[in-house]
Amino acid sequence: MTPTDDAPTLAVIGGGVIGSMCALAAADTGWHVDIYDAGPEYRAAEVAGGMLGSLGEGHPGESALLALSAESTALWPRWIERLGDPGIRTADDSLFVATTAADGEYLRQLADFVWSEQIGADRLTTLTAREARAQEKALTTRVHSGYLARGEGALDNGLLLSRLRAALAAAGVHWHRIRIDAIDEVPADQVLVAAGMGTAQLLPDITLIPMKGEILRLAPNRHSVPPPTHVVRGRVDGRNVYLVPRADRLVVGATQYEAAGPDDHLPQAGGVADLLADATELMPGLRTYDLVESAAGIRPCSADGMPIIERRDERTLVAAGHGRNGIVLAPITAARFADLLAG
Ligand SMILES: Cc1cc2nc3c(=O)[nH]c(=O)nc-3n(C[C@H](O)[C@H](O)[C@H](O)COP(=O)(O)OP(=O)(O)OC[C@H]3O[C@@H](n4cnc5c(N)ncnc54)[C@H](O)[C@@H]3O)c2cc1C
């Protein structure tokens, strides 16, 4: 929708996945929108695995997060259509694999929780070792047991961000590459703070915990086994590792530990070593892949694990604290923000 000259104005601070999708939702309903963004080096969405994990993120005790994630995942197809590129989705299903009896017990507890919550439970199927290996031929012979989560795939977050940027430009949204130090600096009728970890500096009464994570990008070459077609989520000797297929890459992720500070952006050797060890244990053929990139980002986590999507005062709204699930939760965040904006 093209805004009229007297349309209300919205400033969005932060052009990550959350700020961009909220900005587009507002522009689609006739708002004049400006985005103020400090740049990609501060953006968790650049390094994310891109998994749409609701069942896979269904940890006991997080019932509300599981329900919200499932609701949001169901909104993704409409957004992919809006962005006009089906290539954004790179996998449809997730295969969960345990390598030992203890790992199998860990996965069983996650599955039991999902079944007990009855959210998408019919999409989660138990697999024997043989059935799991039939799904992905290059898996280790050490497979103990597994689960198939249908409809729980992944997006290429790099492609998503570039398609969002194009859609924002087409909708007339102006992008300003600038760090904002105070909300008053931005001229607009309404302001959305969606600055990931930067939100806590702009709204000091919001506490966010910086959870750092490393990921790797691997590329097959002519000596390599083909990449998996599912998202493969392994529990390997007590540690989690995931493999996410992309058009020409395989993303391996992700570690999780508290960051030393807001500038703790370099991958640590130990994190990279653990990811490589666990990924090649899960799928030995990955040893021939080229290691194209290692990167680290900081997940902006709220204290209770739930995203903070609310109005702060007459002029200010916030959408932040999406932790390990910002890609999953972006559509429901944009929908809730649009409702708040509409009053
Ligand atoms: C290793 C790793 C793997 C992950 N894997 C997944 C996954 O598989 N699935 C999933 O759903 N989620 C995943 N996540 C989490 C996901 O990346 C985040 O939840 C999501 O990116 C949060 O989005 P955001 O827009 O709030 O923040 P960000 O993506 O961090 O974007 C914030 C933006 O705000 C800007 N900014 C900050 N401060 C200011 C300021 N003062 N002024 C102007 N601009 C500012 C930054 O430049 C940045 O562009 C992962 C994260 C990491 C680190």
Provide the token pair at 273.
């070593």
Ligand 1 pocket check: which of 325, 332, 333, 336 to mutate, most ligand atoms within 8 Å of Cβ?
Answer: 325
Q: According to the model, what pLDDT value does residue 117 have?
A: 87
In sequence order, the 6+-apart residues with CB closer than 8 A to the CB of 262 are 197, 210, 298
pLDDT of the residue at 129: 97
CATH number 3.30.9.10 is the correct assignment for the domain at 9-341? yes
CB 254 within 8 A of CB 56: no
Count CA atoms within 13 Å of residue 196 on its CB side: 29
| Pocket of ligand 1, beta carbon within 6 A | 13-19, 36-39, 42-45, 47-51, 179-180, 194-196, 198, 202, 213, 215, 253-254, 297-300, 320, 322-328
Query: Nearest residue CA, atom 26 of ligand 1?
Result: 196
At residue 317, the pLDDT reads 98
Ligand 1 atom closest to 211 (CA): 53
- Reading the chain (343 residues) residue by residue, the pLDDT tens digits are 677 778 899 999 999 999 999 999 999 999 999 999 999 988 999 999 999 987 777 788 889 999 999 999 999 999 999 999 999 999 999 999 999 999 999 999 999 998 888 887 888 999 999 999 999 999 999 999 999 999 999 999 999 999 999 999 999 999 999 999 999 999 999 999 999 999 999 999 999 999 999 999 999 999 899 999 999 999 999 999 999 999 889 999 999 999 998 789 999 999 999 999 999 999 999 999 999 999 999 999 999 999 999 999 999 999 999 999 999 999 999 999 999 999 8
The residue contributing the CA closest to ligand 1 atom 21 is 45
- Whole-model pTM over 0.75: yes
Report the run of H or E that residue 292 belongs to, with start and end.
strand 290-301
Of ligand 1's listed atoms, the one at least distance from the Cα of 43 is 30
DSSP states of 140-160: -TT--EEEEETT--EE-HHHH
Q: What is the pLDDT of residue 98?
A: 97
Give the mutation target among 18, 68, 71, 214 for probing the ligand 1 site: most ligand atoms within 8 A of CB: 18
C-alpha separations of 258 from 56, 255, 295 in Å: 21, 10, 16
Q: Would you state the pLDDT for residue 5?
A: 75
**For residue 335, with 0-12 CB atoms within 10 Å meaning exposed, 13-18 middle and 19 or more buried, which class applies?**
middle
Ligand 1 centroid – CA 16 distance (Å)? 6
Q: Measured from the CA of 255, which atom of ligand 1 is nearest?
A: 1
Nearest to 197 by CA among 297, 98, 49: 297
* 3 state DSSP class of 266: coil
Sort 93 into a burial class: Cβ within 10 Å, 0-12 / 13-18 / 19+. middle
Lookup: tokens for 145: 């047991």
Q: What atom in ligand 1 is closest to the CA of residue 254? A: 1
Q: Looking at the CA of residue 17, tell me the nearest atom of ligand 1.
A: 25
Beta strand extents in 51-182 (DSSP E only): 89-91, 94-98, 124-128, 145-149, 154-155, 174-177
**What does DSSP say about strands 174-177 and 250-253: parallel, antiparallel, or unpaired?**
unpaired
